[in-house]
Amino acid sequence: MKAIRVLFITLMAFSVLASCKDSGEITEIDGINKNLVNSPAVSNTKNSFSIAVKSELFNSALEYPVTFEKADFDIALAIGQMTAGTASIQIFNDTKQMLYNGEFTSSYSLAQHITLDERPTKVKFIFNNLTASFSCTLTVK
């Protein structure tokens, strides 16, 4: 049930990001820029991590510590309207050994359970000239 909820939340975030259109204007409501591009939104709590970004030729390597109590988790990934670049997800343990590596070069969606040999302690996202709507959620059951 939790996996379905994570998938639903990720798909909702993806549909919001995918519907965003840049009109070339900066529009503000109470000081909030509605056309933010290349500014990831991140939520990082115990046993859960999420990132979403509307990107235009975005270049960045972003690392975040994660606090997962188990070595297995659900991943929900949505990459929409991808017209340029690549996105990579790397997951590491506390000795900096890479446990998982995924590279994406086109629009893609994924919802699956991943079981690793060790508990993840860090997640890294690498965006190379990425133009897309990107959303990823990792959740421990």
For the chain, what percent of residues have pLDDT higher than 90? 74
Average pLDDT in the chain: 85
Q: Could you read off the pLDDT of 64-85 as tens digits, one per residue?
A: 999 999 999 999 999 999 999 9
In the prediction, which pLDDT does 16 show? 47
Q: For residue 129, what pLDDT band results from cuts at 50, 70 and 90?
A: very high
In the prediction, which pLDDT does 105 show? 97
User: SS3 letters for 71-91?
Assistant: CEEEEEEEEEEEEEEEEEEEE
In the prediction, which pLDDT does 18 show? 52
Residue 114: pLDDT over 80: yes
Tracing tokens 């990823």 back to the chain, one arrives at 136
Q: What sign results for the dihedral spanned by CA atoms 12, 22, 104, 119?
A: negative
A 10 A CB-CB count for 83 gives 11
Residue spans per domain, the chain: 2-21+53-139
Q: Could you read off the pLDDT of 32-47 as tens digits, one per residue?
A: 555 689 999 999 999 9
Q: Can you name the CATH fold of 2-21+53-139?
A: Jelly Rolls (2.60.120)
User: What's the pTM value of the predicted model, to 2 decimals?
Assistant: 0.77
